[in-house]
Amino acid sequence: MLEFLLSLLVLTGASFAFIGSLGLIRLKDLYTRLHGPTKATTLGVGSLLIASAIYFSTYSEQISLHEFLITIFLFITAPVSAHLLAKAALHLGLPSLAEIPEAEEAGQTEMTGTAQTGATEAFEKNERIGSENASPGEKARPEKSESITKTPGTPDQTRP
């Protein structure tokens, strides 16, 4: 009886995790794709963890409660990562099936504006550093020239 319940839980968990992953292929844009992993997976992983807790509580000496902790952390972190992905997508202006509200696009241009200012500053800074030891092609890639300035002794592969 217990084994039947356990296998049911494991099968449910596996199917939901599978459906969540299937969503990544079947759905059309980034925003809709985010729905699959955040939701279908919470119940999927949730029931797998419940199965694990029941199994180890029954078949070993101790009661196993680690799984509930994992569930709690999963429920806290899954929405946060989904939110950060969605927010980054909004800032980058990725194509969406749904119409993005105008205010967000305005906010987004404002954001890109500040991002550009930041980029320009970094660019100028790099130019100052770069005038000593980097070729013009590397100035366009700030993180690259930064690593070069950190290790001036190493030979540079990208230099023509």
Partner 1 sequence: MTRLLPHPVLTPVLAFIWLLLNNSIAPGQITLGLIFGWAIPVLTIHFWPDKVSIRRPAVLIRYLMVLFYDIIKANFTVARLILGNTDQLHPVFIKLPLDLTTDLAIGLLANSITLTPGTLWARLSDDHSYLLIHALNETDPDRLIATIKQRYEKPLKEIFESC
Residue (39 or 141) nearer to partner 1, CB? 39
Task: Tell me the closest approach of the beta carbon of residue 104 to partner 1, in angstroms.
Answer: 6
CB of 10: closest distance to partner 1 in angstroms? 16
Shortest spacing between CB 91 and partner 1, in angstroms: 9
Q: Which of 6, 10, 32, 93 binds partner 1 (CB under 8 A)?
A: 32
Taking CB under 8 A as the rule, does residue 87 contact partner 1?
yes
Tokens 């099968």 found at: 11
39 binds partner 1 (CB under 8 A): yes
Q: Please list, residue by residue across 135-152, b when 16 or more beta carbons sit within 10 angstroms of its beta carbon and e when fewer do.
A: eeebbeebebbeebeeee
Which residue of 99, 132, 150, 155 would you call a contact of partner 1, by CB under 8 A?
99
Among 6, 10, 27, 122, binds partner 1 (CB under 8 A): 27
Instruction: Confirm or reject binding of residue 71 to partner 1 (CB under 8 A).
Output: no
Distance of CA 64 to the CA centre of its chain: 30
What single string gives the DSSP state of each residue in 29-54?
SHHHHHHIIIIIHHHHHHHHHHHHHH
Q: How far apart, in Å, do the first and last CA atoms of the chain sit?
A: 70
Contact status, residue 18 vs residue 41, Cβ threshold 8 Å: no
Q: Which is nearer to partner 1, 1 or 98 (CB)?
A: 98
